[in-house]
Amino acid sequence: MRRPKKYEAGEATQYISRRAALRKLQLSLNDFRRLCILKGVYPREPKHRRRAQKGSSDIKILYHAKDIRFLLHEPIVWTLRDYKIFAKKSGRDRAIKDFRNLKRRLAMFPEIKLDHIVKERYPTFIDALKDLDDCLTLLFLFSTFPSLHLIPREQSNLCRRLTIEFLHYVIASKSLRKVFISIKGYYFQAEIKGQKVTWIVPHYYPFKPQSRQEVDFKVMSIFVEFYTIMLGFTNFRLYHGLNLAYPPQFPSNMLQDNADTLKDESSFVSDRITALNFELLRTDKVQEDEEEPDIDMELLEQDGDSKRIIKMKQEAQEVSRLRTLFKGLKFFINREVPREPLVIIIRSFGGKVSWDSSVFSGATYDESDETITHQIVDRPSLSTQYISRDYIQPQWIFDCVNQRQLLPTNKYFLGEPLPPHLSPFVDAKRDTYIPPEEKALHDPSLIETHAQSEDESEDDAAAEEEDTVEQELLDAQLQRAYQQETAEYKKYGGADGVNEDEEDSDEEDFDGEEQESDDDDEEELDEKEKRLLEEKQKMSVQSGKVHKVNKRQVHKAEVDEHRLQARMVKPRHRNLFRKLIREKQAKEKEEWLLRKKRRTIETDAKEAKKLAKREARKAAAAAAAAAAQLGAK
């Protein structure tokens, strides 16, 4: 038998160094890089580097040999080789000044085709959506670039067109869910076909020079080349899913490079935003207002009201409310406010938006329009103000979207110090323990009561301490009851379909209206009184019965249910089930511990306060007594 040689089997044959790959594919390093990025073939780290590198221990860039063999089949390898030939031939023509031939050659420039690669890398549409995060962020960034050394102007133009198309889809499908202003840029999260797609839009659209030391522009440009094709196909499918015509037809002067946009950055940016503020052409005649049929949540009834189902229902309800958050509202954006994110947000939740037509193009109505409900301002004061509208700071829009309701505008008024802008990516309703301070941040209704109660306690006279405590307790109980009520209301939604939040925000108005209605109804008062009197006579008070809950029975039922559940679990999933239960228990225990800790700390603090007060009182009394004695003396 032949003695087996070293490195003829095993890990050494599974990996191939980059150099060897180049030789095998007969490509230059640049072409190879391009091919790998386009095909999604990335270097690998071997388990045993020395074995994989046939004995040498320096760190080389390695690829799976299988991957490289796969690349051998790729038709674009031939196109890449054609590029080389093209460069040689056209270079020769240029050198001997054979311009007729050169023109012919340039016209026949070998074009690379990536359709099949997109399909190959993302076998299903959902796969493509899952990988859209990077794609969108990069394209948004590149759409701001001027033509640079390694980035042709066509590429950044294409990026601009594609991103605007995508934004139009987001607006048309109302799929925006979360927004966040960070110091990096604006985060947007949309939910498309159940996939969460997140992207970042940089703060200032005008281009900022990038250092070449940190980033390899050529590599990024290749990524963008692939992503443009991918986003193009994704847009195509998304548009057709909504019965929109693709490619969308923009007015002819829009999104075209002309002398004006090339010269002036602000007009370049305003062109983008103008393109966003207009309705798309539909291929069918369906009204846009018609709601697409949502998943019927009632179908999930069979599991009763398990925690998850309730949560899902609540979520669905919130989303359906969110989609029409700004419906019927008219916004006007002042000059100094960054318009792009605001236009996207307002339009995707059904609002109408315009801006100063004298400064930027594409305004749909003027500032003097009386039907405007909100004007977005980001400066401390404004000389001329209309009574009919709210003057708010831009953060209101973002916070409304994240809270999924129209927040009261009073905290966001012109020149008001803003409440903190919280990240929507931290789940406020997560299952773990949330300290009351954080809860208060998310629910502004809690914050006021909290502050008030503290104030009261401070103001209270020392003698009436006990009473106030009782009062507070009562208040707290009442509040809790109220909160429970609202929570239930939220859970099952308003029966009459009135937006609850609107009620909140317009509470004062409501009171006024009620009074007015009372005045109107004075004529019918007599009849009503009679009826009321009759009813009163029939009324009687009965002693209430305490509904007793048999705790043991409830507990038994719970245990039984749990057992049944455990029995239903398939044997192969038993470990998983146990793990889940264990995790749940651990989480509950942790939450309980934290709450207990908090409680003890708070009670200790209260006690200490009480003690201090009592001692102070005693000391004061003693001092008074001493003073009296002195006086007597």
Partner 1 sequence: MAAQEPGMKKKRISKKNKSAWRKTDIQDVEQFLEDQRQEERIGTFTDKQNEDLFVVDASPLKTVPSQLSVKKKRKLNALKPMRSHQALENTSKVQDPIVKRNHVRQKKNGRNIELEVRNPTKARHRQANSDRGLYYEKLDQRLTARESGKKDNKVDKDIWQEVDFRDKIPGLKDEKGWISRDLAVHIAGNIGRKVVKTHASLHHKTTKAKKFEAPHPGMSYNPSLKAHQELLAQVVDREEGIIKKEQHLKRVTTSMFSKVTPEERDRRRLNEMSEGIKEEGEPASASEDEEGAEQKPADNSYSTVNAPVENKKKSKQSRNKELKQKELQRLHEAKKALKKQTADLIRIKSIRAEVKEEAEELNEVKKRRKAKAERKKFEPKRLGRHKFVEPDVDVNMPEDLAGNLRNVKPESNLLTDRFKLLQKRNILPTTVAVTRKRSKVKRFPRNSHKEAGVSFQDLRAQRKAAAAASKANNDTIKI
Site for partner 1, residues 312 to 341, rule: CB under 8 A: 336-338
Residues whose CB is less than 8 angstroms from the CB of residue 324 and which lie 6 or more positions away in sequence, other chains included: 349, 350
Kindly state the smallest distance separating residue 183's Cβ from partner 1, in Å.
Answer: 5
**Residue closer to partner 1, measured from CB, 7 or 70:** 70
* Distance between CA atoms of residues 87 and 95, nearest Å: 12
What residues are paired with 44 via a beta bridge?
Answer: 62
Kindly state the smallest distance separating residue 609's Cβ from partner 1, in Å.
Answer: 23
Q: Residues 67, 225, 367, 390: which binds partner 1 (CB under 8 A)? A: 67
Among 357, 318, 339, which residue's Cα sits nearest to residue 397?
Answer: 339
Stretch that binds partner 1, among 121-129, 316-324, 351-359, 504-512 (CB under 8 A): 121-129
Kindly state the DSSP code that residue 255 receives in the 8-state scheme. T
Between the alpha carbon of residue 271 and those of residues 168, 265, 305, 354, 427, the distances in Å are: 15, 10, 51, 14, 36
What residues are paired with 191 via a beta bridge?
Answer: 196
Kindly state the smallest distance separating residue 585's Cβ from partner 1, in Å.
Answer: 23
Contact characters 198-217, partner 1, x per CB under 8 A: x-x-xxx---x-x-xxxxx-
568 binds partner 1 (CB under 8 A): no
**Residue closer to partner 1, measured from CB, 192 or 317:** 192
Q: Residues 12, 68, 80, 141: which binds partner 1 (CB under 8 A)? A: 141
309 binds partner 1 (CB under 8 A): no
183 binds partner 1 (CB under 8 A): yes
Pairing mode, strands 330-333 and 195-202: unpaired
Cβ atoms of residues 196 and 189 within 8 Å: yes
**Residue closer to partner 1, measured from CB, 95 or 107:** 107
Stretch that binds partner 1, among 180-188, 348-356, 455-463, 488-496 (CB under 8 A): 180-188
HEC string of 297-341? HHHHHHHCCCHHHHHHHHHHHHHHHHCCCCCCCEEEECCCCCHHH
* Distance between CA atoms of residues 340 and 273, nearest Å: 6
Neighbours of 611 (CB within 10 A): 10
Kindly state the smallest distance separating residue 214's Cβ from partner 1, in Å.
Answer: 5
DSSP string, 594-613: HHHHHHHHHHHHHHHHHHHH
**Residue closer to partner 1, measured from CB, 317 or 346:** 346
**Residue closer to partner 1, measured from CB, 321 or 411:** 411
Pairing mode, strands 374-376 and 352-355: unpaired
**Residue closer to partner 1, measured from CB, 188 or 360:** 188
Q: Residues 437, 464, 516, 583: which binds partner 1 (CB under 8 A)? A: 437
**Residue closer to partner 1, measured from CB, 54 or 64:** 64
46 Cα distance to chain centroid: 38
Region 98-117 residues binding partner 1, contact defined as CB under 8 A: 104, 107-108, 115
Tokens representing 158 are 């294409």
Kindly state the smallest distance separating residue 184's Cβ from partner 1, in Å.
Answer: 5
| Total binding residues toward partner 1, as defined by CB under 8 A | 85
219 binds partner 1 (CB under 8 A): yes
Q: At 290, phi and psi to the nearest 5?
A: -65, 125
Region 242-261 residues binding partner 1, contact defined as CB under 8 A: 246-247
Region 24-63 residues binding partner 1, contact defined as CB under 8 A: 40-45, 58-62
Contact characters 393-432, partner 1, x per CB under 8 A: xxx---------------------xx-xxxx-xx------
Q: Residues 11, 82, 191, 378: which binds partner 1 (CB under 8 A)? A: 378
* Distance between CA atoms of residues 130 and 190, nearest Å: 12
Contact characters 579-618, partner 1, x per CB under 8 A: ----------------------------------------
DSSP string, 99-142: HHHHHHHHHTPPPP--HHHHHHH-SSHHHHHHTHHHHHHHHHHH
187 binds partner 1 (CB under 8 A): yes
Among 356, 351, 382, 350, which residue's Cα sits nearest to residue 369?
Answer: 356
